[in-house]
Amino acid sequence: MRILVTGAWNCTKKQLNELESCGHSIVFMQNEKGEMPCAYSEVEGVICNGLFLYHPIEKFTSLHYIQLISAGFDRVPMDYVQFRGIKIYNARGVYSIPMAEFAICGVLQLYKESRYFYKNQEKYEWNKNRGILELYGKTVCIVGCGSVGTECAKRFQAFGCRVIGVDLLPRLDSNYQTIFPLSRLDEALASADVVILTLPLTKDTRYLINEERFRIIKSDSVLVNIARGAVVEEKALLDALEKKLRGAVLDVFEEEPLNQCSPLWEKENVIITPHNSFVGDGNAERLYRLIRVNLEK
């Protein structure tokens, strides 16, 4: 197969050589926005991230394999892919472990008042805080029970939490006490001390967490968004942070980078990171193993 590999995949020369030794012809393109290094019609497979945002997929007339290095499919014209019968694979499971660790880290920072103690340390002040919370015994609701959500469930369960899930396809899973269908989302939110969003962005999930849902969410709860920014309505979130939520852990935003004028930056009860939760030192090896497996299908 003639495969176009873009610089979105931080591969090694050794890995590319191994793919070629399996009979594939590799064409490398550093910048997905840049000029194509070969004719569109010559490309049979791609390993990329947002290639089709800059190069119309219709030009790839010989394309029959897509490997995304991201977990989401929202940067690909899926209707066209399905119509043409193009095999497409995402990076399912590659980033789940660091994202789950990030979710734990963020909630613990808010529960253990890390910002308060950091500020005291900067000022050399010895002040106790009597408002520290425990994760033990809390109810954690994970909305989106795929690989990321399930890695989160394992870790919160280990802290002694009651873990419930919400998913389009409910199932029996020992990592969750129960998984509700999406139609019962409100019921799950009403009982949760921590809400973790790990579901994909679709036309049905855009602004899933909105003003109405924030009225349902339990007071003093923590919201973690490691899904997509547009799953949460930002104006409603700002209001909830003022009136109801203990805090929010936000790694994704509707517009990225987050505008410097956004009031979210100044919220004491918000942890902001630049779409960074997926980063981990085990990602490269997991992604390469996945690519090899998918190429053999």
pLDDT in tens, 12-49: 999 999 999 999 999 999 999 999 999 999 999 999 99
Whether residue 175 contacts residue 153, with contact meaning beta carbons closer than 8 Å, is answered with yes
145: amino acid identity, one letter: C
pTM, entire model: 0.93
Query: What is the C-alpha to C-alpha distance for residues 270 and 247, in angstroms, rounded to an integer?
Result: 6
Please identify every stretch of the chain with a pLDDT value under 70, giving residue numbers as ranges: none
The predicted pLDDT at position 72 comes to 86
Nearest Cα to Cα of residue 88 among 107, 70, 103: 70
Whether residue 200 contacts residue 72, with contact meaning beta carbons closer than 8 Å, is answered with yes
Query: What is the C-alpha to C-alpha distance for residues 13 and 167, in angstroms, rounded to an integer?
Result: 40
- Helices then strands, counting H and E runs in the chain, come out as 9, 12
> Which residue ranges form the domains of the chain, and what is each CATH number?
2-94+281-295 (3.40.50.720), 96-272 (3.40.50.720)
The predicted pLDDT at position 10 comes to 94
29 sits in the region (left: phi over 0; alpha: psi -120 to 50; else beta) called beta
Give catalytic residues, as residue numbers. Answer: 228, 256, 275
From residue 154, alpha-carbon distances to 27, 195, 240, 262, 285 in Å are 40, 15, 28, 34, 22
The predicted pLDDT at position 77 comes to 97
Q: Which residues fall within 8 angstroms of residue 242, CB to CB, at 6 or more apart?
A: none
